[in-house]
Structure 1
Amino acid sequence: MNLQRLRGLIRKEFIQILRDPSAIAIAFVLPVFLLFLFGYGVSLDARHIPIAVVVDQPTAETSAFVGGLQHSPYFMPEIYGSLHQAREAVMDRKADGIVWLRADFSRQVIQGRTASIGVLVNGVDANNARIMEGYMQGVWQNWLQQRALNAGKPLIIPINAEPRIWFNPALRSRDFLVPGLIAVIMTLIGALLTALVVAREWERGTMEALMATPVTMAEILLGKLIPYFIMGMGGLLLSVALAVWLFAVPLVGSFWVLLVCSALFLLAALGMGLLISSAARNQFVAGQIAIIVTFLPAFILSGFIFDIQSMPAPIRLVTHIVAARYFVSILQTVFLVGDVWSIILWNSLALLLMALFFLGVTWRRSRKRLD
């Protein structure tokens, strides 16, 4: 290992990065774009759901219940004259559900009988339908409590649930999505960018010229690894800054723990990118392999959006070989919960083993030969 040659390779790589706008765009522009897209454009929260309300016989009781729907942040009710019109609104996707207050609703309430409300939910989106059902139960219970309070009578419910929401009291999906998105961004910077850049050198013939020099293969690999590691950590700092200061995602845990764990994941991603570039010396092929092998698993199988425990058992087994799974778990823990070492240490160990594996395989496969 010659430090002077290594410094020259690192300097050469930084000059090439500065001359290549696509590398800078992937490292710094793409993270900002993805954070804005998922931070503002993607939400798992169900709010302002359009629903059709049908009241067969308007009374004070029905007006109070409809008023509860109108004051709820989860619904946007619209009154329809008949059930047939409300069904047409659902068919035309103008409403996601129907609330039907029958003609005997007020009479049953006044007489102390069990009054039923017809609730028809569009089940095309099963997750949204379940959320609507739960919100409707909440509106119904609030109306009962308010009615009992106005009558000066206690509301007798057999079970009194007192929910407490930990780690994300506001139930903002943004606080869940943005930390996980950092893993996807780091995968793009580490694996995709490295695979494309090295494959481009093979296409242009600069790698052959480099191999004709006295530099060793270890120096070439480090000369590629160090600059893109610095770029990846710069992309991480930019993403964390936007997450905390722009999207107001709380960073409960230690920043230094986050930095060390991110470095381990970035080494694993860089190892995957170098390994892909050693197998595919064409930019198009390297890009396709990097997307299929690294980006898609990081997006789908890491727990970033889809819950791993809800997946079939064979798919859950596959997720154990996805490095982003362990990093997403660390990110969501450090951001929202804190320094829970039982989670951080085991996932960091998995990332360390993956980084050693990919970098070791890349080093074993790399030879100063053109075949």
Structure 2
Amino acid sequence: MAARENLLHNTWHLGLKEFHSLLGDMTMLFLTVFMFSVAVYADAHSKPESLHRAAVAVVDEDRSQLSERIIAALQPPQFIPPARISLAEMDQGMDAGRYTFVLDIPPNFQRDVLAGRSPAIQLNVDATRQSQAQTGTGYIQSIVNDEIRDFAQRYRAPAPLPVELVPRSLFNPNLSAAWFAAVTAVINNVTQLGILLTGAALIREREHGTIEHLLVMPVTPLEIMLSKLWSMAVVVLVASSLSLKVVVEGFLAVDVPGSVLLFGVATLLYLFAAASIGIFMGTLARNMPQFGLMSILVLLPLQILSGALTPRESMPELVRVLMSFTPTTHYVSLAQAVLFRDAGVAVVWPQFLIVAAIGGAFFALAHQRLRKTISAMQA
């Protein structure tokens, strides 16, 4: 009983020391605040939700009522007002980058449409502007088809559709990219800060010389490790919770249907694993620059291949198998189910168990490595 009380006492006070050290480290403190505020807001608006003010020009060789209707439909906010150019100016404008899209309406286009000849209409796209090119092609194709159909229906009755497709968008009815990006940014930043803060705390002890003070105190490597785990986990948990309530639900007006409390419990469990990874990396690196370079090699695969940015179903089978041994993959699946789809414990309990098991393995590995590192320093 006395040994347990001593463990809790030392772990508690060493954790309080970590808070003071973090408050004195303005770089890590600024990074924490920035990642859960400005970075989340910027991620939500970094990619446009739809086409916005794309440059378009039209070569109207038909000069008919139908061609005028098509030109009139290409309007803001998706497009800037179309520029009317000649056929000779088309290639020059595309080469100079003045237009992303150039629509070439051939002569006798309206006459051929009404005669049922299915004439071709050419759309030239500057594919170097990838985001606009991919989305805008679909927009223009839909606009042209709608205008041609509405125009032709004045002259002949439309053919009835055998099947009518009625789409229903669940969990994000407006298909807003900001909703997904903001919540995903919070999830990714939990991984990033959970690893960086604990690893940096251990490196900071070594660079400032305070690790030698700990070695002469009656504390064990387990107490040192637990103190860093719980203190940095509290920092990330509080920061992510405030980010979710203030930035995501407040400034971005994102409707989070899931339980924030369940997400907090899942985050706390996941931080147990992420912080263990950070401490293990901190024992391998000799200084902060080395730790920073090592973090790039670890964080990028964890974030890109975890399913936060790309569905795991679209990844190669080998990647999916390898990433299933990382806690990030299961945490992302758990967090998205809770926050996006309002999943309860009955749905996500398998992910809870897997994260706990993987976290326990990383904790044991980090503890063993920390003991060897401290033993080497004492020798």
Instruction: Tell me if both proteins adopt one fold, taking TM over 0.5 as the criterion.
Output: yes
1:185 matched to which residue of 2?
A: 189
Residues of 2 paired with 1:256 and 1:214: CA distance?
Answer: 37
Query: Please, what is the CA RMSD of the aligned residues?
Result: 2.5
Query: Structure 1 residue 310: deviation in Å?
Result: 3.0
Are the equivalent residues in 1 in contact too, given 2:18–2:201 (CA < 8 A)? Answer: no
Residue pairs, 1:1-371, within 5 angstroms: 1=4, 2=6, 3-43=8-48, 45-70=50-75, 73-124=77-128, 128-147=132-151, 153-157=157-161, 160-241=164-245, 242-293=247-298, 295-339=299-343, 344-367=348-371, 368-369=374-375, 370=377
Which residue identity lines up with residue 291 of structure 1 in the other structure?
I
Give the secondary-structure state (helix, strand or coil) at the position aligned to 1:29: helix
CA spacing shift, 1:91–1:338, aligned 2, 3 Å: farther
User: Deviation string for 1:54-87 (max 9, x for gaps)?
Assistant: 111212111111122226x433352232234223
Gaps of 5+ in 1: none
Deviates more, 1:89-98 or 1:310-319: 310-319
Which residue identity lines up with residue 108 of structure 1 in the other structure?
D
Which residue identity lines up with residue 53 of structure 2 in the other structure?
H
Residues of 2 paired with 1:323 and 1:256: CA distance?
Answer: 20
Are the equivalent residues in 2 in contact too, given 1:176–1:332 (CA < 8 A)? Answer: no
Are the equivalent residues in 2 in contact too, given 1:26–1:188 (CA < 8 A)? Answer: no
CA spacing shift, 1:257–1:84, aligned 2, 3 Å: farther
Give the secondary-structure state (helix, strand or coil) at the position aligned to 1:119: strand
CA spacing shift, 1:27–1:60, aligned 2, 3 Å: same
CA spacing shift, 1:269–1:51, aligned 2, 3 Å: same
Deviates more, 1:57-66 or 1:322-331: 322-331
Which residue identity lines up with residue 47 of structure 2 in the other structure?
V
Give the TM-score taking structure 2 as reference length. 0.88
Are the equivalent residues in 2 in contact too, given 1:194–1:273 (CA < 8 A)? Answer: yes
Which residue identity lines up with residue 219 of structure 2 in the other structure?
V
Which residue identity lines up with residue 58 of structure 2 in the other structure?
V
Query: Structure 1 residue 101: deviation in Å?
Result: 0.8
Are the equivalent residues in 1 in contact too, given 2:40–2:185 (CA < 8 A)? Answer: yes
Which residue identity lines up with residue 220 of structure 1 in the other structure?
I
CA spacing shift, 1:342–1:66, aligned 2, 3 Å: farther
Query: Structure 1 residue 43: deviation in Å?
Result: 3.4
Are the equivalent residues in 1 in contact too, given 2:113–2:119 (CA < 8 A)? Answer: yes
CA spacing shift, 1:187–1:101, aligned 2, 3 Å: same
Query: Structure 1 residue 104: deviation in Å?
Result: 1.4
Deviates more, 1:142-151 or 1:321-330: 142-151
Residues of 1 paired with 2:86 and 2:175: CA distance?
Answer: 35
Are the equivalent residues in 1 in contact too, given 2:54–2:132 (CA < 8 A)? Answer: no
User: Deviation string for 1:257-293 (max 9, x for gaps)?
Assistant: 2111111222111111111112223211122212221
Aligned residues: 369
Which residue identity lines up with residue 230 of structure 2 in the other structure?
I
Residues of 1 paired with 2:329 and 2:96: CA distance?
Answer: 40
Query: Structure 1 residue 125: deviation in Å?
Result: 5.5
Query: Structure 1 residue 216: deviation in Å?
Result: 1.8
Residues of 2 paired with 1:192 and 1:273: CA distance?
Answer: 6
Residues of 1 paired with 2:42 and 2:20: CA distance?
Answer: 31
Residues of 2 paired with 1:133 and 1:343: CA distance?
Answer: 40
Give the secondary-structure state (helix, strand or coil) at the position aligned to 1:187: helix
**Identity over aligned pairs, percent:** 26
Give the TM-score taking structure 1 as reference length. 0.89
Which residue identity lines up with residue 292 of structure 2 in the other structure?
G
Are the equivalent residues in 2 in contact too, given 1:6–1:219 (CA < 8 A)? Answer: yes
Query: Structure 1 residue 182: deviation in Å?
Result: 1.3
Are the equivalent residues in 2 in contact too, given 1:148–1:155 (CA < 8 A)? Answer: no
Deviates more, 1:33-42 or 1:128-137: 128-137
User: Deviation string for 1:288-329 (max 9, x for gaps)?
Assistant: 212221x21233212333343333333333332443332232
Which residue identity lines up with residue 67 of structure 2 in the other structure?
T
Residues of 2 paired with 1:77 and 1:278: CA distance?
Answer: 60
Are the equivalent residues in 2 in contact too, given 1:179–1:331 (CA < 8 A)? Answer: no
Residues of 1 paired with 2:141 and 2:85: CA distance?
Answer: 24
CA spacing shift, 1:323–1:96, aligned 2, 3 Å: farther
